[in-house]
């Protein structure tokens, strides 16, 4: 299978600054030489500062001038696409139970903010269409299908929502779809051939030359945990005409390391660790 020919214009984030390794000053800038282009992706929104996967976190990411928000899509018992990371609501809401066993009305009644801080009391679990409508044109959206094997038909539902908004046309908006489920991503590639696909992994077995070549048949992004990242891996990914985005940055040291490795995107709870303008 030939790779998709239409690719997004990425790297508009901290574009005009060359970051040096931490031991030379985390944010020293060079005015000569090659310019660095790294996309700053707010992981579940600016989740270091606001409750993850809520409007508060996504709005904060926009305020902090991130290039993308990363969202986790699952499905309610009655087929509504909702934004939540865990397959249960226990950790990030005042409720209990599996996402797939709760109706949209039940999910929407939960408080998804108080666990982070009382100031976020009343934050709700957002819907997929709500996120698309609120942020299209304001910020890119990195869509993760979370445990899609639990939700038959979720790929088609996601595709329909994007097509209805003409968001399947890369020249309009910055949209990327990713998952740890590779078969799901092969399906998304067929449903939405012009939208970039990403594969997620925290396993070294997926960094071999053979594995990367297989991913390159349908994916534009190889997105490993930062513990797997090396100069060699970045070079091997780029050699296959893929980009590499790494996660999850929760320290300045991790951000500086990934900047030094020349990755294309950094997925972070703290957008200001990647872009010091904030």
Query: Would you say residue 3 lies in a domain?
Result: no
Low-confidence ranges of the chain (pLDDT < 70): 1-36, 172, 277-278
Query: Would you say residue 1 lies in a domain?
Result: no
Which pLDDT score is estimated for 18?
32
Query: Would you say residue 17 lies in a domain?
Result: no
Residue 43: give its domain's CATH number: 3.20.20.190
Query: Would you say residue 231 lies in a domain?
Result: yes
Query: Would you say residue 125 lies in a domain?
Result: yes
Structural domain boundaries enclosing 110:
22-274
- 68-75 and 81-83 strand pairing: antiparallel
Which pLDDT score is estimated for 35?
52
Catalytic-labelled residue, pool 36, 60, 85, 124? 85
Mean pLDDT of the chain: 89
Task: Answer for the pair 268, 248: CB distance below 8 angstroms, yes or no.
Answer: yes
Q: Cα dist. 44→37, 41, 55, 107, 142 in Å?
A: 22, 9, 10, 18, 9
Which pLDDT score is estimated for 110?
98
Q: Total domain count for the chain?
A: 1
Continuous H helices in 64-166: 104-108, 128-135, 154-164
Query: Would you say residue 2 lies in a domain?
Result: no
206 is a catalytic site residue: no
Catalytic-labelled residue, pool 43, 116, 146, 243? 43
Query: Would you say residue 8 lies in a domain?
Result: no
Query: Would you say residue 92 lies in a domain?
Result: yes
Which pLDDT score is estimated for 37?
84
Determine the straight-line distance between the first and last CA of the chain, rounded to whole angstroms: 42
238 is a catalytic site residue: no
Which pLDDT score is estimated for 278?
57
């Amino acid at each position: 299978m030939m790779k998709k020919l239409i690719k997004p214009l990425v790297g508009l984030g901290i574009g005009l600054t060359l970051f040096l390794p931490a031991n030379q000053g985390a944010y020293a800038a060079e005015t000569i030489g090659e310019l660095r282009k790294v996309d700053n992706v707010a992981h579940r929104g600016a989740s270091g500062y606001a409750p993850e996967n809520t409007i508060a976190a996504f709005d904060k990411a926009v305020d902090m001038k991130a290039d993308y928000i990363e969202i986790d899509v699952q499905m309610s018992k009655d087929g509504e696409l909702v934004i939540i990371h865990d397959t249960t609501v226990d950790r990030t809401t005042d409720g209990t139970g599996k996402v797939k066993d709760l109706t949209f009305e039940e999910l929407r009644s939960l408080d998804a903010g108080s666990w982070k801080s009382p100031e976020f009391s009343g934050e709700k679990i957002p819907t997929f269409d709500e996120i698309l409508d609120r942020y299209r044109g304001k910020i890119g959206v990195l869509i993760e299908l979370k445990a899609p094997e639990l939700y038959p038909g979720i790929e088609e539902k996601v595709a329909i929502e994007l097509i209805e908004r003409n968001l399947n046309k890369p020249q309009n908006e910055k949209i990327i779809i990713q998952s740890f489920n590779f078969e799901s991503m092969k399906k998304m590639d067929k449903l939405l051939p012009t939208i970039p696909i990403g594969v997620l992994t925290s396993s070294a077995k997926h960094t071999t030359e053979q594995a990367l070549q297989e991913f390159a048949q349908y994916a534009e992004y190889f997105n490993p945990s930062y513990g797997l990242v090396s100069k060699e891996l970045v070079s091997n990914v780029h050699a296959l005409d893929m980009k590499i985005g790494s996660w999850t940055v929760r320290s300045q040291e991790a951000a500086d390391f990934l900047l030094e490795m020349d990755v294309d995107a950094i997925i972070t709870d703290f957008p200001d660790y990647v872009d010091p303008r904030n």
